[in-house]
Amino acid sequence: MNRYIGISLNDDYTCICINDKTVSRFQPTVIAKDKTEDKWTIGEDAYKATLAGSGVIVDKLLSLLEKNGTATISRVKYKAIDILARYFRELLGKDSNKTEDDIVAITIRKPNRDIVSKLKEAMIKAGVAEDNVYIMSHTESFAHFVLDQDNSLFNRMVGMFELNNQCLYYYEMHVSRGTKRYVMVGSEAEDEAFSLDILKTTSGGKIADKILTTVADRVMNNKSYSAVFLSGRGFQDTNFATNFMNYICKRRRVLIEPGMFAIGAEICVRNKAEGKNEEYMILCDTRSRADVSVKVTLNEKSETLPIVRAGESWMDTSSCYEMILDDQDYIDFQVTSISKPQRPLRLRMMLDTFPERDKRTTRIRMSTEFTDADTLKVTVRDLGFGDIFPASDKEIVEEIDLSEK
């Protein structure tokens, strides 16, 4: 039987949701290895083993992975990827004898191509099939979570506060129900983040309440919301935040789900596995916000060749096409923003530094790849025309700015 698993991962804690979108559990992102045998424990058990003196603990696993770090335990040097693979194996209860298919989505705050490939590698080493691993941002998993709720909760704008240790984020989701149904999701870090340790005292709780109320007043202003969500370990108990709760509950529905990101990720993989199409195109930090295409000719007919489709994950989007220049020394790109009702932007990439040849005897290879969410790198290489007109090996690289300035 398939297991649908959502994992929200950061240096501090891991939240996991398996097969049930109403249940999630938190545990510290730490792993310990027994000093005498090859036995690994994670979370609270790792702390216990370390306190008992039987284990050596490794923490801040995500940062370790980002830095390509290593950890030496009992004179053995482990790479960050291998430690994280161990961590995932323990987290998922992976046993080499089990044959169940896990479909896993990991959500982290700021995915980039490098960390995504490392996380995938670690998860594959942990025993999950490559095609069953997805990586997304918190923003995207928030969108999946909200879109899985009742329609009335997102018929206007949706807000969300995330409170974790030294981490306070505000998220906003706008829904468009026009001809193109899409949601735009964004998030911002608030400067007033604080340590959750202050919630242990009454006076600290009051300070936290005041901070949250001030932030809510600033970011929500007089905007109209369908619902406001609260997430993160800081909102597991909201008794400390009386004023904040009073403020956000005014004429709005407020829902608390501390494990929202893990649940959103679980919903995403479940929908993928069940072949459900996204009813709304999600435009966020991991998705392209514009369509990019090139006009080409096929059998004497002009056709639009899509290079990038809005709503696609930019990290997984790359293309490679071969074309022949027929009496032209440029490529025209058409960029269509989904969220802005304006005419498509036309951008011309000049290829006039390639050698001049007879008509239709210059073949080019055009490769595209995102360098970040807003920048599409286009590389065009001169292939000549086989052995008839040898290639010059010249290459032209340009970047298309897709940000909506």
Closest distance between other proteins and the C-beta of residue 131, in Å?
A: 24
The side-by-side arrangement of strands in the sheet containing 167-177 is: 253-256, 225-231, 157-164, 167-177, 181-189, 281-283
Rounded to an integer, what distance in angstroms lies between the CA atom of residue 74 and that of residue 56?
A: 8
Spatial distance between the Cα atoms of 188 and 168, rounded to a whole number of angstroms: 9
Minimum distance between the CB of residue 385 and other proteins, rounded to whole angstroms? 6
Question: Per CB under 8 A, which region of 45-53, 98-106, 141-149, 356-364 contacts other proteins?
Answer: 356-364
- Residues 369-388 interacting with other proteins (rule: CB under 8 A): 383, 385-388
294 contacts other proteins (rule: CB under 8 A): yes
**If binding means CB under 8 A, how many residues of this protein chain bind other proteins?**
27
Distances (CA, A) of 134 to 61, 79, 204: 19, 22, 39
Out of 20, 101, 326, 399, point to the residue binding other proteins (CB under 8 A). Answer: 326
Point out which span in 16-24, 140-148, 196-204, 323-331 binds other proteins (CB under 8 A).
323-331
Is the CB of 132 or the CB of 368 nearer to other proteins? 368
Q: How far is the CB of 300 from other proteins (least distance, A)?
A: 6
Which of 7, 15, 248, 331 binds other proteins (CB under 8 A)? It is 331
How far is residue 392's CA from residue 364's CA, in Å, rounded to a whole number? Answer: 11
Distance CA 253, CA 251 (A): 7
By CB under 8 A, name the one of 192, 197, 303, 316 that touches other proteins.
303
CB of 191 to other proteins, least distance (A): 49
The two three-digit tokens of residue 395, written as one number: 């290459």
* CB of residue 350 to other proteins, shortest distance in Å: 14
Dihedral of the CA atoms 67, 68, 73, 76 (nearest 10)?
A: -150
CA-nearest of 373, 399, 339 to 136 is 373
According to the binding rule CB under 8 A, does residue 347 interact with other proteins?
A: no
- Give me Rg for the CA atoms of the chain: 25
Residue 298 engages other proteins in binding (rule: CB under 8 A): yes
CA angle (275 as vertex; 270, 277 as ends), nearest 5: 100
With binding defined as CB under 8 A, does residue 393 bind other proteins? no
Q: Does 305 bind other proteins (CB under 8 A)?
A: yes
The distance in angstroms from the start CA to the end CA of the chain is 47
Q: Which positions lie near other proteins, rule CB under 8 A? A: 294-300, 302-303, 305, 321-328, 331, 360-361, 363, 383, 385-388
